Amino acid sequence: ISEADARARGDIPDLGETHISGSSGTYKITRRGDVYSCTCPAWRNQRLGTYRTCKHIKEIRGEEAERRRLIDAGHATTLDVVRA
């Protein structure tokens, strides 16, 4: 899915991916169910297991959607925990 389509939808389809321009290059965001991943250093260097986030995922999905996703998965309790 294109970055523009992902931004317009506010999400990536399940089993889908998009590429997003970042400050140090282009990163790939993928989705598998309710698990999202990004190839950026901020996402890779987190030690939070499967449920992580980064500013690129939040740019596509929105801050509130990411907060809810992590809280629903039991991996965050406040917005402060998911700021990247």
Over residues 3-50, the pLDDT tens digits come to: 999 989 899 999 999 999 888 899 999 999 989 999 999 999 987 778
For residues 55-76, give the mean pLDDT: 88
Query: Residue 40 in contact with residue 28, Cβ under 8 Å?
Result: no
Query: Residue 18 in contact with residue 33, Cβ under 8 Å?
Result: no
> How confident is residue 78, by pLDDT bands cut at 50, 70 and 90?
low
Q: What would the two tokens of residue 64 be?
A: 């509130």
Query: Residue 20 in contact with residue 26, Cβ under 8 Å?
Result: yes
